[in-house]
Amino acid sequence: MRLTRKVNDIVLCVRNLRTYFFTEKGEVAAVDDISFDLKRGEILCIIGESGSGKTATALSILGLIDKPGAIVSGSILFNGTDIAKLSEGKMRNLRGNKISMVFQDASSSLNPVLRIGEQITESLVQHLKLDKKQTRERAVELLASVGISQPEERLDEYPHQFSGGMKQRVMIAMALSCNPEVLIADEPTTALDVTVQAQVLDIFKELKNSTSVLYITHDLGVVSEIADRIIIMYAGKFLEMGDAREVLMDPKHPYTKGLVGCLPSGKIKGRLVSIQGSIPNLIDLPEGCVFCPRCPDAMEICRKETPSETGISDKHSVRCHLYGST
């Protein structure tokens, strides 16, 4: 009995996902052997630098990886069904309906020649088959729910009449229009200034308990504010995963330590630390641990063997040879 309940609590279960891009220069492992669970009602943050495979992970879940990329292996279980193997038609019914996504750049994510109202109602018409009056009422409700004043009039305006923060809120309203079970947010606040960012984050916080959020970002400040659990991603691989508070307070992986060290904090005076080097070329990955060329604690074994996942506590695990032997 207890076991089935526990399984039901997991909305999205990704296992050993590999998404490769087959370019002329060679194979790029954008997502390399990634597994995680998204529980009902939680906010799970994936943190990583640019090019670490965060967006590729998100697009893989939605089945939107375009050529020359492809999901090579692994499974993506959504409420028990493997959506990586679903047909395009069935997948389309899921997108925007059960799983939806908010993109980084709201200004280019809205079609400049269509009215806001027409764009919000798109997925309502597509998935819920509502009539004109109902969709309009629902659209007004949605705009109001993301804090846009005078939603009735705003519906007939064009994207260029909206500010950046409002556009992003419209995008969130669109993504939420069909009450999805999973919302994937790909750096939704990166293009916004800090005050607007806080307002948008509030919308995500209020979502808790109704929609599970997979929040992709490179901003640890945002993470500390909203995340329940976090995953640290680097060069297509997970380096550390666990409860947000625990990982941020007590980072184990040298990369996570570096990231946390990069954050300015009020307590410690002195220079901000930065991580030496840059993310490796994904075509030509180093052998062994992907982080070892930049790692301050690299050992002999790091250059030869890829570290396996080691549990620190029941809510915290890391992939690093420093903790493997114990």
Q: Which residues bind another protein (CB under 8 A)?
A: 62, 64, 92-97, 100-101, 103-105, 108-114, 122-123, 126-127, 171, 174-175
114/198 with CB nearer another protein: 114
Length of the chain in residues, anyone? Answer: 326
165/258 with CB nearer another protein: 165
Q: Please give the Cα distance from 207 to 184 (Å, whole number).
A: 12
109/135 with CB nearer another protein: 109
Q: Please give the Cα distance from 72 to 80 (Å, whole number).
A: 20
**In the complex, least distance from residue 170 CB atom to another protein, rounded to whole angstroms:** 11
98/136 with CB nearer another protein: 98
**In the complex, least distance from residue 110 CB atom to another protein, rounded to whole angstroms:** 6
**CB-CB neighbours of 124 under 10 Å:** 21
Q: Please give the Cα distance from 139 to 136 (Å, whole number).
A: 5
Q: Is 137 helix (H, G, I), strand (E, B) or coil?
A: helix
**In the complex, least distance from residue 141 CB atom to another protein, rounded to whole angstroms:** 17
110/239 with CB nearer another protein: 110
**In the complex, least distance from residue 266 CB atom to another protein, rounded to whole angstroms:** 37
Nearby residues of 87 by Cβ (< 8 Å), 6 or more positions away:
none
**In the complex, least distance from residue 59 CB atom to another protein, rounded to whole angstroms:** 8
Helices (H), 194-266: 194-207, 220-226, 244-249, 254-262
Q: Annotate 211-234 with b (16+ C-beta within 10 A) or e (fewer).
A: bbbbbbbbebebbbbbbbbbbbbb
184/322 with CB nearer another protein: 184
The 8-class DSSP code of residue 306 comes to P
Q: Please give the Cα distance from 196 to 25 (Å, whole number).
A: 41
**In the complex, least distance from residue 294 CB atom to another protein, rounded to whole angstroms:** 31
